Structures are given as structure tokens and as C-alpha cells.
Structure 1
Amino acid sequence: MLLSICKSEYPLLGRESGTATGWDVQNHFVLGGVAVHEGQIYRLTKVLDAVQEKYFPSISVPIEFHATEIRRGKNRFKDFTPSKREDILSDVYKIISDATYPNLVLFATAIHISAVENQFQARTKVLEDLCQRFNMFLTRKFHAGLPNKGLLIIDRHREEEYRHLISEFQSAGTSYGCLGNIVDIPYFARCRETRMLQLADFCANAVFRYYERNDTKYIDMIFDRFDKRSKDSPPEGLKHFTNEECGCYACSWRT
């Protein structure tokens, strides 16, 4: 896996939605990712800070924007009405939808219960696929004369599991071969520590709700930010593993 001199880095910040062990109550598990050019992180952080200032004008310390907590009115969001919480969600999703390629690029892999053998396999499959899609994006950039390296940053909540998986990738490779454009030492951070992981949470949650609840509201807002080869190409950054017939956004163009 790697290394060469590069002009800049793309962090891919990954966040789960659903759980790899929750198959008694869910049909899908999602790993979503937001790839942000390093030169855009400060600007996007300030834009999300402005959303906090809009809704929490008296609070200066960073508040974590977590899509599920906002939707359910948990923690700091408990005093907001449902309509106001929807406004907060829309404001955050608008940050993603207003970003331009390639400053911010989305990736997400969903796995349906029909394709699951066990919880380890489910998490392995979505991580492997997400990394492969990110590597393809970086490869296209390289061939276009922009030799960027990818850096994987994952929510620390699942650090032990992901360290083990990435160690397996390093020793045995992946089913896609070598992921040569991604730095092979992952980093881990708490979601509350970085606004970019919070954007990844919103990406993963939109994809999870699309597959689990047939809710298209927010995935439609951010759909054009998923990686694609050209403006009119299908969304290669979105993948759905299922053993059933499917006409979803990810499957319809692949059949």
C-alpha cells in the first residue's frame, strides 16, 4: 500500500450508520465517508460553526452535530421543535450540497442483510469497498496530473475493530488488490473533535435512511456530491451490496 511524494492530501473521514451487530432490528448497515481537500477543511469548519452560532448564539464551545440526535431531539437539541430540528438538518445538508467537486466528495457503501454472513464480514466488506472507491477517485486524480494521497480517518468509537481490519488489509491485501493511493496508517478521532467527521455522519445517516426507511429527502439533497467520473456519469461513490433484486440509486445503473 503506498507511498510517494504528493502535492496534497485528501482525508477521507468515515462514519457508520446502523450497526454491524444489529441485524435483529435493521436490514442495512452503512459506512459513509466525506473526502475533503485539505485546503477546504478550515473553510467548511467555519461554515458549520456558523450553523451552531445561528441556533446556539450563546454557546461558544463546539457542539457536536449528530444527525440522529438532532432528528430525535436528544441532548442539546431536546428543546427545539420538530420543525426547527428539520431546519438544522437542512442547514447542515446544504453545506454538503453547496460544496463543489473536488473540494468535497462523498462515498458510501451499504450492505443489506441478504448479503451478510456475520458482523465481521459486514464491516470488512463495507470498509474494503469504501476504500476501493476512494482509491479509484485518487487514481483518476493522479492520471489527471494531480497526485494526491488519501488519508483514512475513522470515528474512534470503533477504533479496535477498524485497526484489526486495516491490519488484515496490510498483511493479506484486499479483494480489490493494493490500495496504493491511500496512506496505510489510519487515524482515529472522536466525532465531537472534528466538524468533518460530523459531515460524514450526515452522509452516512442520509444513506442509511434511504435504504432502511425509503426516505429520499436528504440523500437527494447531497446526491450530486457522490463521486462520479463526470458530471453526467452515475454515482460510482455509492455502492449497495444485496443478494436481492434492487433498483436503488446505486444498483439501477449497474444492472
Structure 2
Amino acid sequence: MYLLYLDYSGSSGNASDKHVILAGFAVFERQPHWLSLKLDDLAKEMWPENPQGLEFRGADMFSGKRHWRGVEKARRLDAYRRALAILGTSRLVHVFGVAVHKASVSPDDPMERAFEAVANRFDRFLGRLHKQNNTQRGLIVLDKSSYETSLQGLATNFRSVGHRWGQLFNLTDVPLFVDSRATRLIQYADLVAYALRRYYENGQSAYLDTISGRFDAQGGVVHGLAHMVSPEYPCNCQACRQRVRT
């Protein structure tokens, strides 16, 4: 089984956010333990007194909030880059991310549109594995949020009725929602989502570049990254450039 860990960045109701981001990564079921240990090691370095109490959240690390309060900014950002690099250097990680330009999909809920796109891309990834004689089921794991009820309902409908690109065939159940404090894997997903946010909202590519080589891809075509934006808002990101070519 493959597990897709997701978190979001940006708010549907916050007018200052142009995008809502839903992003994370998929790994085979035996990998989460080892990835957790690597982030635990970094936590021990940053806060040896209580490493398990340290939560890796992109917004907190950038702004110096919560457990990161009082930590020098350069050290906080270095920890963020190092945590992202754990994913970026692992060939076992498949990154997925969708940036939804809110004005482009209005009046639709941008989070629901993002979830639809990510679920479809994850399902297609599993379908490609099946064609390679590696049949796997998938489970989506998300951080607890107010979207829990609506996204579970959407996933059920995608499997039975379908979505705008077809149906989901390879997911074993509705999404599982967990507390990010209880699992390092959701914290990783938050760091991925925040890297996309820094790129699409602030034009900072350095953090996204750290993981860009791990976006799900086949034959030179990147499937794991999507930018949902209408043509009236020109964009030159990797996802939009590829869409224009194809």
C-alpha cells in the first residue's frame, strides 16, 4: 500500500491569500518509520530538551512562532531546508501538489477543487504501478481540519459516481484525518505545502527547488504538480509551461 500524506496552506476565506495549496508526498507503507526517525534526529538537534514536543510547521519556522520562538532566523530556515532535503534526496518519495488560484475557480471551493485534482493524480500514479505489475492500493492521510467531513464525502463520491476526470479505482478507503502533532509525516507534508506557498504567493523558488525533482513524473512529464489558474492570469511555472506545450 502507498500512503499519501497531505496538508494545506492558505485559506479559502482569507482575501490576502491568492492561492490555496494542497500538497504532500506518497511513500510505500514501510517507509514512514524511517522518515520519521530522520526528522526526529533533526528535532533532537534543534531542541534536545524535548525533541518530541517540537513540531515542524513551515509558517511557524518562517515567523518564529510557537516552539520556534527565540530561535535565530537563519537557524530556523536552515532547519526547514534540511527537513525538505530529506524528502528531496529520497528516491522513494513521490511528491504531489496542487496550487489553486482562488479567483480562477470562483465560485467553487478551492480546497475541494485541489483535493479532487490531488486524489485523481494519486489514483493515476497507482494505476501506472498496476500496469507495471506492481498492484498497490492507496490511502490518503490529511491533517485534521474543518474540511474533514466535506473531503470524506467527496472521496466517497469520486469512487462511486466519479469526478471531472473519471473515477477513483485504487484507493482503499475514505481519507484518514490525524493530528499533525502525532505524526512526523504530516509535518513533512506541511513543509511541502509551505514550499509551494512560498513559490506561488511570494515568488521564492529556492524551497520548491529542493523537492522539485521528486514530483511524480513519467517519461519527462510531471504529473505530480498542478497549477489551477485561468489564462487571464499568465503564469510561467513548471506546471503551466508543460500544460502549454501539451
Q: TM-score, normalised by structure 2?
A: 0.93
1:79 counterpart residue number: 70
Q: 1:145, CA displacement in angstroms?
A: 1.1
4+ aligned runs moved over 6 Å, structure 1: none
Q: Read off the aligned partner of 1:239 and give its amino acid letter.
A: A
CA contact (8 A) 1:228 1:237 kept: yes
Q: Does 1:64 align with 2:52?
A: no
Alignment-derived partner of residue 144 in structure 1: 132
CA deviation after TM superposition for structure 1 residue 113, in Å: 2.8
Secondary structure, in 3 states, of the residue corresponding to 2:80? helix
Describe how 1:168-207 pairs up with structure 2 within 5 A: 168-207=157-196
Which residue is equivalent to 2:224? 237
Determine the structure 2 residue equivalent to 1:35: 26
User: Secondary structure of 1:179's partner?
Assistant: coil
SS at match of 1:148: coil
- For this pair of structures, how many residues does the alignment match? 241
Contact 1:109 1:239 in 2 (8 A): yes
User: Displacement, 1:104?
Assistant: 1.1
Counterpart position of 1:132: 120
Q: Give 3-state SS (helix, strand or coil) of 1:251's partner.
A: helix
- Hey, what does 1:50 align to over in structure 2? 41
Cα distance in structure 1, aligned partners of 2:18 and 2:48: 39
Q: 2:195 is paired with a residue of what secondary structure?
A: helix
Tell me the SS of whatever aligns to 1:91.
helix
Counterpart-to-counterpart distance in 2, 1:146 and 1:63: 37
8 Å contact kept, 1:49–1:62: no
Q: Note the aligned Cα RMSD (angstroms).
A: 1.4
After TM superposition, the score normalised by the length of structure 1 is 0.90
Q: 1:208 to 1:76 in 2, by over 3 A?
A: same
Stretches of structure 2 that go unaligned for 5 or more consecutive residues are none
SS at match of 1:188: strand
User: More deviation in 124-133 or 53-62?
Assistant: 53-62
Superposed CA deviations along residues 12-68 of structure 1, whole A, max 9, x for unmatched, are 11111101222x111111100210111111110000000001111121434211011
